[in-house]
Amino acid sequence: MSVSFKTMGFTMLVATSLATPVLLRGQGAAEGFTATATVKTAGGASASAPVTVTIDRKMSQREAETLTAAFKTGGAAALRKALVGVSPTGSIQIGAGAATPTRFTLERTTGDGRLLTILTDRPLIFLGAGMPGAKAKEGYDFGVIDLVVDAKGGGSGTIAPAAKIKMNQDALVVEDYGAEAVQLTAVKKTK
C-alpha cells in the first residue's frame, strides 16, 4: 500500500508559481537546517534519522515558471528533462548517507514565516523496499521535502524520500513509495 498525499508545497506549487509571483522570494543567502525524520508503521514500529538540508540558492520566478510549465505540459518525464543542467540549489543528507543534490528550491512567505519546497531529481531512499511484497521502484524518481519555518528558524515538515509526482487539475500530487508518511520534526535553522 502506498501513501498518496499532497504535500503542502507541491499542492500549491503550480498556483503559486504562476498566479501569485509576488509571494516567491528568489535567491537569497545560503541557509542550513537540521531536522529529525520520523516514520511510524501501522504495526507500531518506528524509525528516525537525522536530516541536514543545505540551501545554496532559491529558484528565481522565471526558473520556477519554466520548470512548472514543463511539468504541466509533459508530466514528470518533461520535468526530469527540464531539470537536466539545472544547477543544484543545495543538498539533503539523511543520516550518515551521502548528500543528494537538490534541483528545485522554492520559497513562499506564510503568515508567520515561510514554506520551502525542495525537490531532488532522484530518490533519496526506498523505505520498505526490502520487505516481502514490496512494490516496484519504477517511476518513484524524485525526493520531495516541505519545510515550514517560522521567523525564528524553527518548524516542521514532511519528506517523501522516493516519490512519483502527478498533476490533478492544478495541483501536484505526491505519491510516496513508502507505506507511511515521513514527518520532519525539530526543524532548526543552523546558518
Among candidates 102, 99, 70, 98, which has minimal Cα distance to 86? Answer: 102
Q: 29 or 183, which is more confident?
A: 183
Residue 191: exposed, middle, or buried by beta-carbon count in 10 A (0-12, 13-18, 19+)?
Answer: exposed
Q: Rounded to whole angstroms, what are the CA distances from 65 to 20, 156, 172?
A: 11, 26, 14
Sign of CA dihedral 13, 16, 21, 23: negative
Q: What is the spatial distance between Cα 134 and Cα 131, in angstroms, rounded to a whole number?
A: 5
The SS3 assignment for 70 reads: helix
DSSP state of 62: H
Q: What is the pLDDT of residue 65?
A: 87
Q: 170 or 86, which is more confident?
A: 86
Residue with cell 536530516: 51
Q: What average pLDDT score do residues 45-54 get?
A: 93
- pLDDT classification of 125: cutoffs 50, 70, 90: very high
Check residue 153 and give left, alpha or beta (phi > 0: left; psi -120 to 50: alpha).
Answer: left
The mean-pLDDT minimum among 12-16, 56-60, 84-88, 144-148 falls in 12-16
pLDDT digits (tens, 9 = 90+) for 52-82: 999 999 998 888 889 888 988 898 999 999 9
The mean-pLDDT minimum among 1-5, 116-120, 187-191 falls in 1-5
